[in-house]
Structure 1
Amino acid sequence: MSAGYLYEVASYQGLLDILMRMFSRGYYYYHVVELPEAKREKWSNIDQKLIKKYLTDQSKFQRYRRKKNYNAASFFYVRWNELSFILHTDGEVLDDIDYSDKFLDIRVKPLKIPVSTVVFVMNYFHYDKKMKEKITKKGGNVDEKNAKVTVHLSEETRKGHLDVLYHVFNTMNKRKVIHEFEKMNGYPCWRGIVAQKRAIQHWMFREAEKRGIPFTDEEKKSIRFTDKRKPVSIYKEPVE
């Protein structure tokens, strides 16, 4: 493995960030390996075996030459805690790659990433008919080639937030409701998650009206709603 090669990320936020970057660069195919906790002390050895198996530590110049000369697929490896991810682009899989694992296509099969009690889902964003009409009306381009991967909360996680908010509403205390809603500001602000937060916020306002404790315009403005991603450090520094 080449010196200075980084592959272990420091946080789940960093993991989502680097996966989004790689998917957007055409690394559409992914394979997930969950390393056994009982072999934690051997995780770095497993990393190196996978890196060697798929030649993921090649320089950009090596990848470029393989692509130019052989139309070769490029491979990428990253790990967060026990979850390892191998990605690759379109192209020929050359004989020096041990392509023995099953890879899925992010454009077809969403990738689910569990983080404690929360599950994040990464999937390829396609334009529906209504959205295409809206974008076309504004003079935009709706070519599917411009579609992107996004991140959102799993349906189970989304419903879990609604269930908790519904329970907090039973206290008839709007301050507690707002406090519970604002906990979601801790999630990274990818487009899919922001859209889900807005939908939950609208539900919260309707539920308050239904219960006879509507939010005033001033209260609505006071609710913290983050929709900008914060930069995060991606990789852990290698241990000397």
Structure 2
Amino acid sequence: MWSERFGLNLKVPDRFSILLEDAKCWDYDGISQAFYSNDPDFTIEIGSVEHEGGNYWWQNLYFENARQFDYHLKYKNRIIKTLPVVNYYNEGLTIPFPNIEFITYPEAQDGSNAEFYCEIYYYKKGTIEYSLFQHIRKIEVHCDTYQTLSTPITTQLKPPIIKLPFFIINSDSELNELSKKFMEKYHEFNSCKSDLMRKRYPDENYNRWDVEKVFSEWVFEQINPPSEFSISE
């Protein structure tokens, strides 16, 4: 049972995933280093901020640009995996960079005549990225709450301003089904886009990132309506 719980029979990257989820057994120095108390050969090194903002709407919010840096996962001081992480400093929100599935985009040769990027932002269970997501969320609070592993993703430390409409999926087949729904909703959104954008931006002063933000929030609500998420906020 001990071997199964801590993945002693697994390869190092797979074992790292299991140990990350055992978040309470990691000791941080308060700066940029952490080690797993039950096996100090497993360590985390947090890199310095590389840049602010980016290519996606959720990296460039009008009240805060996301900062990006790396988590270096090490075994016996050898890097096993480097994962990019984004942080909203003022919001107190940190997450691994999500996976992205491109559905359609301007100039795509798919007949959609897209005017903006239609993308799914997601984490897949069973991956090291999702294990790091769990790890970061769990070490932020003394006790897990309904917010810890739920979506939309918000800070757990104060009343949230930022709500990230990212998905958590179980399998590739679930992603395929989600992609089909996104394409259907993309065409539906185009028929009501003017009204939705006018409600959010009555002066009609918005750019493509603003459209992509409204679409991401709207489609999240359409496909997976959470109780506390509203596009009108």
Shorter-chain TM-score tier: under 0.3
Structure with the larger RCO, 1 or 2 (CA within 8 Å, 6+ apart) = 1
TM-score, normalised on structure 2? 0.27
Question: Going by fraction, where is strand more abundant, 1 or 2?
Answer: 2
